[in-house]
C-alpha cells in the first residue's frame, strides 16, 4: 500500500497512545450491539496492526440498554487503542458518528457499523485509495446481504434519487464503511439523518470522492435498528438538500415560483367558478371536492415551505450556536503512556 498519507508517523507504530495523531481513527456508532463488540474490536485491531498503522478505535455508545456501554468502558481501561465515548441517551446514528468525528485525531478517519455487517478487513482497501489522493472513499456493498423488499429496493431507489439530486453518482450511499481525510471531516456539518448524504456534503465541500467494492455480511447478533420509517426520513432530508442548494443562493427562485404557481392555479380555478356562476348560472356551492382540492393544494405548499424553513432554521441554529446534536455523558480513554 502506498502510505504517503501516513508517512509522517513512520517509526511510531506502538499503538496510538504514544502519539497525538494516529494514522487512522476507526469510528463505530453503537446502539445495543454487545455481542458483536468483542469480535469487532479484535477484527479492527488485527487488520490495522497488520498494516503497520498506528490507530485508535473510537466506540460511540448511542444510549445502549444492553450493556454495550459498560463493556466499552471496561475495554477502554484495558486496551491502549480504544476510546469509549458514551452519549447521554440515544441520539441516532448520525449524531453518534458526529461525536466520533469530533473525538477522532487520526489523519485518516474510517467509519463502520458495529454489527459486523461491514468487514473490518476491507479497511486497508479504502485507505489505499485515500493514499492515492482521494479525500473520501465510500464502500459499495456489491453483494448486499439484506432483505430485498424492505431494504434493497428502497435503497436502490434512494441511491438513484440521491445521485440525481446531488450530482454524485455512487452505487451505495448507505454503506457505513467509508474513509475520509481528516481535513475533510472537519468541514462536514451533520444533523438529522445526514450521515446518509456524506458523499453529497463532501462534494459540496469540493472533495474528490470515489467508491470501492467491499464485502457485506448478514447480521449475526441483535437486530437492525431501522424499519421503513427511515426511507421517509431520508427522502425528506433529500428534498431539503435539493432545496437548500437552490434556496441558500436564490430563495425567490424556489418560493417565488411556488407562490406564483399556486396563485395562478387559484386565479384559474376562481375564474372557472366565476364563469360557472355568472356565465352559466350554475350554483357553485355544491362542489366540495373542488374546494377541497384547492385547500389541500395550498395547505400542502404552505406546510412544505414551513417545514423547509424550519429545517433551515434548525441548521442555522446548530451551526451558529455550535450547539452539538448530542451530549456526552462520559469519555473513557487509555491513560497516555510516554514511550
Q: Report the partner that residue 73 touches, choosing among ligand UDP, Mg ion, none (CB closer than 5 to 8 A by kind).
A: none
* Binds ligand UDP by CB under 6 A, chosen from 13, 156, 208, 225: 225
Question: CB of residue 302 vs Mg ion: minimum separation in angstroms?
Answer: 38
CA distance 212 to 22: 23
Which residue spans within the chain are E strands per DSSP? 24-30, 55-61, 82-87, 108-111, 136-141, 178-181, 209-214, 328-332
93 binds ligand UDP (CB under 6 A): yes
Binding mask 91-120 for Mg ion (x = CB under 5 A): ----------------------x-x-x---
* Residue pointed to by grid coordinates 456526552: 328
* Residue pointed to by grid coordinates 459540496: 204
Dihedral angle sign, alpha carbons of residues 122, 127, 128, 133: positive
254 binds ligand UDP (CB under 6 A): no
* Binds ligand UDP by CB under 6 A, chosen from 117, 138, 166, 240: 117
Q: Which of residues 35-64 bind ligand UDP (CB under 6 A)?
A: 62
Question: CB of residue 219 vs Mg ion: minimum separation in angstroms?
Answer: 6
Question: What is the rounded radius of gyration, in angstroms, for the C-alpha atoms of the chain?
Answer: 24
Indicate the helix (H) or strand (E) that contains 264.
helix 257-274
* Buried b or exposed e, range 270-282, using 16+ CB within 10 angstroms: eeebeeeeeeeee
172 binds ligand UDP (CB under 6 A): no
The overall longest dimension of the chain from CA atoms, in Å, is 95
CA distance 78 to 261: 64
73 binds ligand UDP (CB under 6 A): no
Q: Which is nearer to Mg ion, 31 or 128 (CB)?
A: 31
232 binds ligand UDP (CB under 6 A): no
Q: Which is nearer to ligand UDP, 228 or 263 (CB)?
A: 228
Q: Report the partner that residue 31 touches, choosing among Mg ion, ligand UDP, none (CB closer than 5 to 8 A by kind).
A: ligand UDP
90 binds ligand UDP (CB under 6 A): yes
Question: CB of residue 113 vs Mg ion: minimum separation in angstroms?
Answer: 5
Residue 192 to residues 91, 129, 188, 232: CA-CA distances in angstroms?
Answer: 10, 29, 13, 12
Where along the sequence are the contacts to Mg ion (CB under 5 A)? Answer: 113, 115, 117
Where along the sequence are the contacts to ligand UDP (CB under 6 A)? Answer: 29-31, 33, 62, 90, 92-93, 96, 113-115, 117, 224-226
Amino acid at each position: 500500500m502506498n502510505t504517503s498519507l501516513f508517512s509522517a508517523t513512520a517509526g511510531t507504530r506502538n499503538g496510538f497512545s504514544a502519539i497525538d495523531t494516529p494514522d487512522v481513527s476507526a469510528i463505530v456508532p453503537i446502539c445495543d450491539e454487545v455481542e458483536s463488540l468483542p469480535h469487532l474490536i479484535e477484527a479492527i485491531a488485527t487488520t490495522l496492526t497488520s498494516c503497520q498503522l498506528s490507530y485508535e478505535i473510537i466506540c460511540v455508545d448511542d444510549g445502549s440498554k444492553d450493556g454495550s456501554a459498560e463493556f466499552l468502558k471496561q475495554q477502554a481501561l484495558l486496551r491502549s487503542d480504544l476510546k469509549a465515548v458514551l452519549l447521554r441517551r440515544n441520539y441516532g446514528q448520525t449524531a453518534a458518528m458526529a461525536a466520533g468525528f469530533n473525538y477522532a485525531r487520526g489523519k485518516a478517519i474510517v467509519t463502520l457499523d458495529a454489527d459486523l455487517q461491514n468487514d473490518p478487513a476491507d479497511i486497508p482497501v479504502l485507505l489505499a485509495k485515500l493514499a492515492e489522493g482521494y479525500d473520501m472513499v465510500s464502500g459499495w456493498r456489491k453483494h448486499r446481504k439484506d432483505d430485498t423488499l424492505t431494504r434493497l429496493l428502497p435503497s436502490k431507489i434512494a441511491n438513484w434519487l440521491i445521485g440525481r439530486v446531488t450530482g454524485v453518482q455512487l452505487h451505495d450511499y448507505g454503506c457505513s464503511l467509508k474513509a475520509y481525510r481528516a481535513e475533510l471531516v472537519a468541514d462536514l456539518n451533520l444533523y438529522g439523518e445526514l450521515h446518509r448524504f456524506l458523499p453529497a456534503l463532501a462534494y459540496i465541500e469540493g472533495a474528490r470522492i470515489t467508491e470501492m467494492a467491499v464485502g457485506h455480511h448478514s447480521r449475526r447478533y441483535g437486530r437492525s435498528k431501522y424499519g421503513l420509517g427511515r426511507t421517509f426520513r431520508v427522502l425528506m432530508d433529500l428534498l431539503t438538500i435539493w432545496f437548500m442548494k437552490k434556496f441558500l443562493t436564490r430563495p425567490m427562485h424556489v418560493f417565488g415560483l411556488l407562490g406564483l404557481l399556486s396563485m395562478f392555479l387559484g386565479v384559474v380555478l376562481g375564474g372557472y367558478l366565476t364563469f360557472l356562476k355568472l356565465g352559466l348560472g350554475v350554483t357553485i356551492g355544491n362542489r366540495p371536492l373542488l374546494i377541497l382540492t384547492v385547500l389541500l393544494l395550498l395547505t400542502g405548499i404552505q406546510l412544505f415551505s414551513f417545514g423547509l424553513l424550519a429545517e433551515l432554521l434548525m441548521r442555522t441554529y446548530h451551526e451558529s450556536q455550535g450547539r452539538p446534536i448530542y451530549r456526552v455523558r462520559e469519555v473513557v480513554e487509555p491513560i497516555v503512556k510516554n514511550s
